[in-house]
Amino acid sequence: MSAGLRVPAPYTDHTIGRESLWYAYAAGADETVIPPWLSEPVPPMETHVHPPTPAAAEGGTRRLLPYGTAELLGRTAYPHGQVAGEVADPLGHALVAAYGPQWYDPDNVYNPHRGYASPRCLYPVQVFADDGEHWALLDPDRHALTTLSVPGHRPRARQLALSGRYTRIPRGYRWFRGSLVAIETGYALRALAIGLHHFRMPAWVRLPDAGAGAVLAELGLDPAGEWSLPVTVGLGAPPLVPGPTPADPPAGSPDPVLAEVAGVNRAQSFTDPPTRLGSGVPAGAAAAPTAPDWAELTWRRNSGRMPAGRPGFDSRRRRLPAAVVHDIVRWLAVPAPGPTLAAVRDRITVSVALRDIDGYADGVHRVGPDGELVLHRADREITTKLESTYGYPLTPTDGCGVRHASMVWFLSVRPRELHAAHGPTAWTATQYAVGWAAHGLSLAASAADLFARPVRAFVENPTRDLLGLSGDEMIALAAVVGTPRHASGGLLDIRL
């Protein structure tokens, strides 16, 4: 493909507008067809209100989760440590470790914050726990599991289900809501892997296949078109799912894009057998002398801060040792579970813009198959140039810390190649894979006392030019990593 050819055709460089065009291009469309809904007005982002708790959870019996998880993790070393001794409710503690709220920031308009990143702290991915006879909704903010008012089922091994609710995300995100939910599913799955590892709980993953729609129906989530097909996780044994049943999105939705979003999700059909989840931690990761314990590491994790009431993020220049880069590369290299996600990971190009890193020239580097960084383009002003292509520029009231960042990581793919290899499943598989990778990156950054801000806000075409990417490569996810300029202030510790 010619280096000057850009696909999809440059109707827009904005992520929200380009996402559906990339999907169509991956499936073989060479001519850009502008979706009619792009011209339809949508409510402002600020008017969004969280939808209520799923109807199946209203009035259900609430069981409190165990207390003391933060104290247990405070005695657990990063990165490979596990909680010592026996605990009465290891699954309850593992769920708190993975999904429990960490802190409330009075200076931030979005709260509370958990141990993994989520746009606007919306956390659209919901977790459901099956005790072997009944399903319950995990409600981290209430520190509880609420039994769903749906029929029971035959006794079976315990399992979990992760399903994203698209309507928890403002309608202004339109088609991009599907990718945000799938990316966060990757985040949530890796957080769960690490939480279960802390408490020595083996688990197996079943990615959405022909039976996933039946799980959605069994959970009683209605309307089904608001929810993604669940990723199921078996505890102690591979997860079992009911026989295949349709779970099509309803017709006539007042949101003209929602049916498309759900339809793309329903197009995935993994054929992987249940796969051991693993720890989510790279085997070669080593703790630095100043590395925190797991409770401190999760507490530190953030996406950048600003003073009270101001949006965006800011950073300051700081020279870093090469070991920080090496640790992030090790975390990025751990594939998400299952042969399909591993194959997708092998096709992800990892590029990084470095500035003030010992042993490395400022500029754009590529991560090779052996994990070594190879200089692609030297450029002492690379982060300043990248800030000029960032969609939320510096203003008198809004922060933008790209220019002073130590690293900006980019995960890119060739959608048409992936579609040729894996069919419609490739699109959602890519989002799972980059979400899984980015959560590992965020933890490695936290271990070095850095923030990591996952973004899809870089204007794509000029950013591809700066990185030297081909015209048919889509930037699936990026992460700005650096040292916060502003102190954390009076964070409220809400760990339990």
In the chain (496 residues long), the average pLDDT of successive 10-residue segments reads: 55 75 92 80 77 82 97 95 95 98 91 94 96 95 95 92 95 92 98 98 95 91 92 93 58 78 94 96 77 93 86 91 96 96 97 98 96 97 97 88 97 98 97 98 95 94 95 96 84 95
Residue 372 structural domain: 302-488
pLDDT of residue 211: 87
pLDDT of residue 2: 36
Residue 169 burial (CB count, 10 A) = 25
Compute the distance between CA of residue 275 and CA of residue 342 in angstroms, rounded to an integer.
Answer: 11
Name the 3-class secondary structure at 152. Answer: coil
**Do 306 and 271 share a domain, yes or no?**
no
Alpha helices (runs of H) in 199-243, residue ranges in sequence order: 212-218
pLDDT of residue 486: 78
Can you say how many angstroms the Cα of residue 307 is from the centroid of all Cα atoms in its chain?
Answer: 26
Can you say how many angstroms the Cα of residue 477 is from the centroid of all Cα atoms in its chain?
Answer: 9
**Do 319 and 207 share a domain, yes or no?**
no
pLDDT of residue 246: 54
32 occurs within a structural domain: no
Beta partners for residue 492, in sequence order? 104
pLDDT of residue 248: 54
**Do 240 and 363 share a domain, yes or no?**
no
pLDDT of residue 475: 96
N residues, the chain: 496
Q: Which two tokens stand for residue 342?
A: 């591993």
Q: Which residue has the tokens 């956390």?
A: 123
Compute the distance between CA of residue 479 and CA of residue 58 in angstroms, rounded to an integer.
Answer: 37
208 occurs within a structural domain: yes
pLDDT of residue 1: 36
9 occurs within a structural domain: no
CA atoms within 13 A on the CB side of 296: 14
The closest of 306, 390, 336, 387 to 108, measured between CA atoms, is 306
In 306-450, beta strands by DSSP E: 315-316, 349-354, 363-367, 373-378, 407-413
DSSP secondary structure code for residue 109 in this structure: S
Residue 364 burial (CB count, 10 A) = 22
**Do 479 and 432 share a domain, yes or no?**
yes
Number of structural domains in the chain: 2
373 occurs within a structural domain: yes
180 occurs within a structural domain: yes
**Do 307 and 246 share a domain, yes or no?**
no
Q: What is the CA radius of gyration of the chain?
A: 21
Domain of residue 221, CATH code: 3.40.109.10
**Do 319 and 241 share a domain, yes or no?**
no
48 occurs within a structural domain: no
pLDDT of residue 288: 65
Can you say how many angstroms the Cα of residue 187 is from the centroid of all Cα atoms in its chain?
Answer: 4
**Do 316 and 409 share a domain, yes or no?**
yes
For the entire predicted model, the pTM comes to: 0.95
